[in-house]
Amino acid sequence: MNKESQYAQMNQEGKVEYDMCRAFEQLEARGRQIGIQQGLQQGLCRGIQQGEDRINQLYSILISEDRYEDLKKAVEDKAFREELYRKMQLV
């Protein structure tokens, strides 16, 4: 079934009629779904960027304060890293 025929019907006079309301509703639903997908993708990209910025900020602070042992531990230990985020108000 092609795209046009799914909206077409034969009327009592034998003429083809198109259900434009149904076609519009389906197009609108597809457009909404595409918009939602694009919004989710953009949000994911922003979240990743914010996470990278935050971790780089933490590492920069630790390096500037010569806290290399804490830096090593923060790389390896997520709970410790989260604790540092809170202490340094990078939450």
Q: Give the tens place of pLDDT for each residue, 17-70.
A: 878 888 888 889 999 999 999 999 999 999 999 999 999 999 999 999 999 999
User: Cα(32)–Cα(43) distance, rounded to whole angstroms?
Assistant: 16
Residue in 51, 55, 48, 50 with CA at minimum distance from that of residue 84:
55
C-beta separation of 80 from 89 below 8 A: no
- Using DSSP's 3-state secondary structure scheme, residue 70 falls into helix
Nearest to 73 by CA among 16, 11, 82, 65: 82
3-state secondary structure of 17: strand
